[in-house]
Amino acid sequence: MVSIALEPLLHHQAAIRHANHRIYPKLAKATLFTSNCFSSRSLIRTGGRLSTFKPRRSFAVSACSASASASASASASASATSTSTTTDESAEIIYPLKRREMVEGKIFIRLDQGKNADNWKLTVGCSLPGKWVLHWGVHYLHDMGSEWDQPPVKMRPPGSVAIKDYAIETPLKKLAVGEGGYCLHEVKIDFNSNSSVAAINFVLKDEETGCWYQHRGRDFKVPLVDYLRNDRNAVGSRMGFGLWPGALEHLSSIFLKTEAPQPTSEGNSKESAEPMEPSKPLEGFYEEQSIVKEVIVDNSVSISVRKSPETAKHLVYLDSDLPGDVVIHWGVCRDNNKKWEIPAAPYPPDTEVFKNKALRTLLQPKEDGHGVRGLFTIDDGYHGFLFVLKSKDDTWFKFMGKDFFVPLPSSRSLSAQSEDQQSKGKGIDIASELHLCSKDLDNAIKEENEEVSQTSHTDVIINEIRSLVTDISTGKDWKTKSKEAQESILREIEKLAAEAYKMFRGSSPTFTEENVSMTEAGLAEEVMRPPVKTSSGTGSGYEILCQGFNWESHRSGRWYMELQEKAEALSSLGFTIIWLPPPTESVSPEGYMPKDLYNLNSRYGTTDELKAVVGKFHEVGIKVLGDVVLNHRCAHYQNQNGVWNIFGGRLSWDDRAIVADDPHFQGRGNKSSGDNFHAAPNIDHSQDFVRKDLKEWLCWLRKDIGYDGWRLDFVRGFWGGYVKDYLDATEPYFAVGEYWDSLSYTYGEMDYNQDAHRQRIIDWINATGGTAGAFDVTTKGILHSVLERCEYWRLSDSKGKPPGVVGWWPSRAVTFIENHDTGSTQGHWRFPGGKEMQGYAYILTHPGTPAVFYDHIFSNYQSEISALISLRNRNMINCRSIVQISKAERDVYAAIIDDKVAMKIGPGYFEPPNGPHHWSSVIEGKDYKAWEAV
């Protein structure tokens, strides 16, 4: 069994460890208060840092004692360029900051004996915060067919949930350990060594991030019998117990405190009647694996404002617990328009003018080393102090998407105070001056509470759905239901998904982007919230794909420029996505034998021409897919045996990057996770360095070239879980894989039932976690037989649904009738000649995402294809539309889609029935016709 999980490659990045950083699961609420006026529910400054003790929701501003003010002024005087006698006026605003940080941790696996020699306990844990789940199963003795099966019921810890028929998911329990407050999670599995279980397999999943953690790129395996202990994925080969070094050392001592075996008079029940093969007794072990995870760290910045009536200057004191070098871009404004200006000198040390619109200052480290601070002197007459912060890792910090704004008390507020109040030593009331900030902070808390509420509500819905699926998959009734009843339930689930999709899409707000200046500092920038992602990798559901090349397109040497000239025409036809040919240097001119992945000067054009054509398609509203070949790569050099298996260029891999079971290229990697492509070295995607390099390359293509998504070549060659890893890293708008294998035939005639064929495509989509679609090869093949043999009855399966992938998982089916391999000058599987428009009448009116071949667009079919695309768009037919098949007979197929569009193909007769709708014919051609409801 292979899981959809992939080990994150975070450990390839530079890990940052800060023992003093506090990690909180939620955003600390911003609080406004005045210095030295603390209560048990305030944010309290301790030792130059900020500690949170249930911050109150109300905001109080009151006067501060003269001693407190004097003390604060004195402590800040070292960084001030000038000082003066100040009043005791003081107020402070604290803003929450969130940043991402890489933290190190451990996965630990421990096997030790229970109360007697037969009872054992496997403990799996993790030292990082998260929502950890153990995805696990067992391998039984003498079972050669499957590495994963569900364990005996007695082995399953409380809270375990069955996953299909091969695995169990068990949540890890959170433990509080040690004075350092380290967050530990663990789960314990009890088992009997005399059972028929030969090994326990597992992977660890963090449900907060969706990341899966494996052992050397494969599943963890804990062998319980001798013959499995030499497996390369086996853990526990290093017997005995070890200690975690450094700050985590105390954790090991805790886990070593296990109960000693105790005699018991009770007999031990066997898990299974089948005895274990004779072997050495089990030995306990303790093993660790280092992991790195990106977490959200809560910090804050506080601003104190004081005013000196004698000098008419404001003293603005900034204090933050952000680590390392922090730069502040700052300025002042004269009114509520908050237009940035540069104030007059003096300035703090390490200050320079930035783009003549702001000042840039390196904040000074605090004496205790925990955070930074700064003191700024501002003349009277300004309305407010503006700033943004930039950390050492180039992270910009703003408040609610806007520049930080701190109101400065005006001279009018000073004169408004009576001389009697000042003579009595009472502080100047500046609460009104800070009212705007208080309102902003109130709004921030309100928005956060709403967000938490929505998140909680979402979690409830998701948990209910998961419970429903679990009940279905594990319930006795489900297994006894007929296949027809099961498929009926699945169809209802797809309908619900379609309805939810429509509601979600309709309620998602749209935003417009505004041109902003001063990009680097983000000054005076209004950051708009992006539209909600509907589904990463699967688009909006209304896409129409154009394949923008054929097998001979490389011959001109300027294909990109030719396509650029056709961009507006393709947009006017209604296409929303275009699939471009492979961009890399290639041994073959068509691009499918890539060599140097970073060299984008190909037979189709130069790198600059590629960027130009992508930019042009974006101008006309068409997104662009890059054709990426990840399965194989041609080598640059021969090894000592004369085999081409050493790579050059920027990705200078050696033979470890090639799978070991490719017989032609002497790879030293692991065995292939798919089918081999024998014309070039097959890449081993289980290697960490390979996946890291490919993800960097794909991200570079997204950022530098501007690709919006991917067409993935020959995905049969490697596990779909690796594809999920690549798509998670690049977040494409749309992605589709080419999973092409043979349909089922008997004595040369295509079988009616093609469920096994479409199931293989579905399985690949499943392995990607549903992050990509796949070309519906099943539908293409069935259309061939339908049109060649006049057997239109084939277009309805035994349940009255479309017989291809589009009938089972329409939102992931990319339907097509021809491409550069099947048609063009290759003609490996050419669509029945003269009947192309029947094929397009089918795929352009049905659910799924239809793809149209370049050769057909720029042919005498163009006007008919255009009319069908207009019909689809006009009636909002989408990838989840509902099909009601009206006829599937020898010479005619007819269907009604979403009660909006009716269609028929074949020479036989069909007219949509009159009823609640009146039907109007909109297009008719040779053996096809379409209507729309009016």
Q: Which residues are catalytic?
A: 713, 738
Structure tokens at 292: 């790195």
Residue with tokens 């494969």, as numbered in its chain? 218
Burial class (CB in 10 A: 0-12, 13-18, 19+), 419: exposed
Structure tokens at 837: 């428009």
| Dist CA 74 CA 57 (whole Å) | 31
The amino acid present at 154, given as its one-letter code, is K
Q: Is the sign of the CA dihedral 679, 681, 684, 685 positive or negative?
A: negative
Structure tokens at 465: 């759905």
DSSP H or E run through 465:
helix 435-474
DSSP state of 901: E
CA distances from 520 to 354, 398, 844 (A): 10, 13, 46
| Dist CA 219 CA 467 (whole Å) | 26
Q: Are 101 and 324 in contact (CB under 8 A)?
A: no
Name residue 109's beta-bridge partners.
124, 287
Could you give phi then psi for residue 51, rounded to 5 degrees? -120, 145
| Dist CA 627 CA 821 (whole Å) | 14
CA distances from 438 to 31, 310, 321, 360, 407 (A): 9, 28, 22, 27, 11
CA distances from 689 to 175, 584, 653 (A): 34, 20, 9
How far apart, in Å, do the first and last CA atoms of the chain sit?
A: 52
Count the Cβ atoms, other than its own, within 10 Å of residue 99: 16
- Residue 862's closest CA among 872, 871, 852? 852
| Dist CA 231 CA 225 (whole Å) | 11
Q: Are 882 and 889 in contact (CB under 8 A)?
A: no
Q: Give the contacts of 246 (CB within 8 A, at least 6 positions apart).
A: none
Q: Is the sign of the CA dihedral 738, 744, 747, 748 positive or negative?
A: negative
DSSP state of 703: I
- Residue 127's closest CA among 172, 92, 86, 170? 172
| Dist CA 445 CA 115 (whole Å) | 52
Q: How many helical (H) and strand (E) elements, i.e. helices and strands, does the chain have?
A: 17, 40
| Dist CA 374 CA 396 (whole Å) | 18
Residues belonging to the chain: 934
Across 626-640, b (16+ Cβ under 10 Å) vs e yields bbbbbbbbbbeeeee
Give SS3 for 908.
coil
Residue with tokens 């200057």, as numbered in its chain? 313
Q: Are 621 and 873 in contact (CB under 8 A)?
A: no
Give SS3 for 573.
helix
Q: What angle do CA 752, 811, 579 make, to 5 degrees?
A: 100
R_g of the chain computed on alpha carbons = 33
